[in-house]
Amino acid sequence: MMFAESRGMSSTISLPKCSCCNRHIMPNDKCVKFNCPNCGTDLIWRCESCREAARKYVCSSCNFQGP
């Protein structure tokens, strides 16, 4: 019980965002993540629904669009 509860760490959890719909990806989501095939630096996240709908993603580093 020595941990300070006033730090408010729970409000700043860094969940990854889906590169297609910009929604936060939950840890139990059946998402996929891969590096951008064009520049290789950006990590693309795709949530389960976007993967099934085959939505396009946009790389935030080089604006590459891919299926």
List of residues contacting Zn ion (CB under 5 A):
18, 20-21, 36, 38-39, 42, 47, 50, 59, 61-62, 64
Q: Which is nearer to Zn ion, 8 or 31 (CB)?
A: 31
Query: Smallest gap, in angstroms, from Cβ of residue 9 to Zn ion?
Result: 26
Cβ-based nearer residue to Zn ion, 16 or 64: 64
The answer to whether 19 and 44 have CB atoms below 8 angstroms apart is yes
* Residue 14 beta carbon to Zn ion: minimum distance, rounded to whole angstroms: 17
What are the angstrom distances between the C-alpha of 31 and each of 38, 56, 63? 20, 14, 21
The token duo for 52 is: 């099934």
